[in-house]
């Protein structure tokens, strides 16, 4: 299908960047973007979050219990201060 569309400046920049990075035509870049967007793809496979060892291991099995105890202690502290 042949049609005319008007792109917002930011969308034009994204299409232009995709064309340059992927060495593809305008038509291919727009069709690819529309396919991905309409199919619900977020492109999550293209980005990887770097991880770094922190050097410490924390047992989180009782984290909820600890959070509750800290919250209780704060409530008691505020009650003593009359807040």
Judged against a pLDDT cut of 90, whether residue 47 lies above it is answered with no
Strands (E), the chain: none
Q: How confident is the model at residue 63 (pLDDT cuts 50, 70, 90)?
A: confident
What is the reported pTM?
0.46
Q: How confident is the model at residue 12 (pLDDT cuts 50, 70, 90)?
A: very high
**Count of residues for the chain?**
83
Q: Residue 4: its pLDDT value, please?
A: 92
* Residue 1 structure tokens: 């299908």
Residues 6+ apart with CB under 8 A from 5: 30
The alpha helices in 23-62, defined as continuous H runs, are 26-38
Task: List the domain boundaries for the chain.
Answer: 7-42
């Amino acid at each position: 299908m042949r049609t005319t569309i008007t792109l917002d400046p930011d969308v034009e920049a994204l299409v232009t960047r995709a064309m340059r990075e992927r060495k593809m035509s305008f038509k291919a870049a727009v069709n690819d973007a529309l396919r991905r967007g309409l199919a619900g793809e977020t492109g999550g496979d293209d980005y990887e979050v770097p991880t770094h060892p922190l050097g410490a291991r924390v047992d989180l099995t009782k984290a909820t219990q600890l959070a509750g105890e800290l919250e209780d202690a704060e409530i008691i502290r505020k009650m003593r201060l009359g807040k």
